[in-house]
Every structure is written in C-alpha cells, then in structure tokens.
Amino acid sequence: MSSEVLVEHDDGLVIVTINRPDQRNAVNRAVSYGVCEALDEMDRNPNLRAGILTGAGGNFCSGMDLKAFLRGEVTRVEGRGILGIARTPPKKPLIAAVEGYCLAGGFESMLCCDLVVAARNAQFGLPEAKRGLAAAAGGLMRLPRLIPQRIAMEMVLTGDMMSAERLYPYGLFNAMVEPGQALEEAKRLARRIIANAPLSVAASKRVIIEQRDWPIDQMFNLQEPITGAILTSQDAREGAAAFAERRAPVWKGQ
C-alpha cells in the first residue's frame, strides 16, 4: 500500500485516508489503486462491515492530479474509474467524511458514497468545464439524481464552487458539522450501521441502488432474489431472540 493512502481497521470499520495534503489530496495513479485495494479488501473481509473515505490535512480531495495527467499518468483504475469506485462502488456501506475542498473527481468520488458527513466550511464543485474537461467520472449522471437538476446544472455549467451551507438543504449530506468534526461524526454514523445485521444491511443497500431502474410492475419480483433469504437466515432468528430476551444481538452474517 502506498504511503499516499492510509488504511486503518477499527473493530469492523475501515478508514481510508487520501494522504497527499500538500496537493490537496489530488488523485494520482497510486491513490486510485490504493483506495481501490482498501475497499476491495473491505468487501472481501467478513470482519469489515463499513468504510469511511476521507482526506488528510483538512481537505477531502481536489480531484485528478492535473500535473500527473499532463505527464501521461493514468489516474483511474482500469475499467473501474477514479479510486476504483466510479463504476464499481463497494457492496458494503461507504461514508464520505468531507472537510475543506471536495472538487472534480473528489466530488464525484463523494457522490459514489452511500452517506456523507460534511464540515460546515467545506466547498464543493465540478470545475471541469473551466479546464476543458468534463465530469465524466459519474458527476454528470449522479449529481442530478441527488439534488434538483437546476442546481446540478448550475454547478456543472459554471464550474463554480458551492458551500456546504448552500447544498445541505438539498439533502446532499446526511449531517453537517463544525470544521474538524467530519471524521468523528462519520465514525458515529458507521457504528450505528455496524450494530445491525450484515446480511440485512448488504441486501438493503443493493435494493436501494438497483430499484431506480426497476419497472413498478416488476419491482417486488426483482427484489425477492435479493431479500428473500434474509427471513430464513440465522441472523433473523438471532434478531428476534435478542429482542425477546432484551439483549444485544450477536450477528453471524449467516
């Protein structure tokens, strides 16, 4: 693992930190592959239940490293996009903890996350049009699904930054906190998820993501293969028993 990506495992939680503070955590090849490797390990390892993506030095990520781009360096994971999550987000829950600048590919990476905690002074933007580029790592497609289209259009066509204060009322974040507190709040949110049954969490996330394209007359039939086995799982019985016995459940993921 490159020193430009720091990975910490903490009792079921993996915290992935982009560690290029002198470059505002701009993404080069090592960062993309390092983050991708850490999140792939999260999905493979049954002991890891949720992840947090954040940045070092007071910024989340300023996007693609333009100097690396000019050198001809490929700053995305082949076939998977920036950080390996643009086209293939992880199966387990991923939370973005955002401080400072969250721009371009960094903003697009945040949009790939399931939940977001943002510092009050964070700044967001898709400035690609100012550089003769396009937000092709998912920003043009994901952002209008998450906030009103006219606001998304303004961000994309002007390339100007918007503050967390302006974007919070549109529901782009789960929580807005004081500067320096995004990671701690993201950890608290992750712990609330980790307390739940892993099969239930994984299936629920999958349905929420996939149902956007389901025809109404087919949605229950399409949901059944994903959620059907949960009712007969060991964890379902454990959850009911723990409730009846007034104790915390012990999940097996089975």
> 29 and 74 in contact (C-beta within 8 Å)?
yes
Burial class of residue 151, CB neighbours in 10 A (0-12, 13-18, 19+)? middle
Q: Is there a catalytic annotation at residue 128?
A: yes
pLDDT for position 73: 80
The catalytic position among 108, 178, 184, 210 is 108
pLDDT digits (tens, 9 = 90+) for 155-197: 999 999 999 999 999 999 999 999 999 999 999 999 999 999 9
What residue segments make up the domains of the chain, in order of their start?
Answer: 5-194, 198-244
pLDDT digits (tens, 9 = 90+) for 127-161: 999 989 999 999 999 999 999 999 999 999 999 99
What's phi and psi for 235, nearest 5 deg? -65, -30
Please give the Cα distance from 125 to 131 (Å, whole number). 13
Q: Is there a catalytic annotation at residue 238?
A: no
Q: Under CATH, to which class is 198-244 assigned? A: mainly alpha
> 103 and 130 in contact (C-beta within 8 Å)?
no
Q: 74 falls in which pLDDT band (50, 70, 90)? A: confident
The catalytic position among 4, 99, 128, 185 is 128
Please choose, from the candidates 74, 147, 58, the residue with its C-alpha nearest in 3D space to the C-alpha of residue 111: 147
- Domain covering 5-194, topology: 2-enoyl-CoA Hydratase; Chain A, domain 1 (3.90.226)
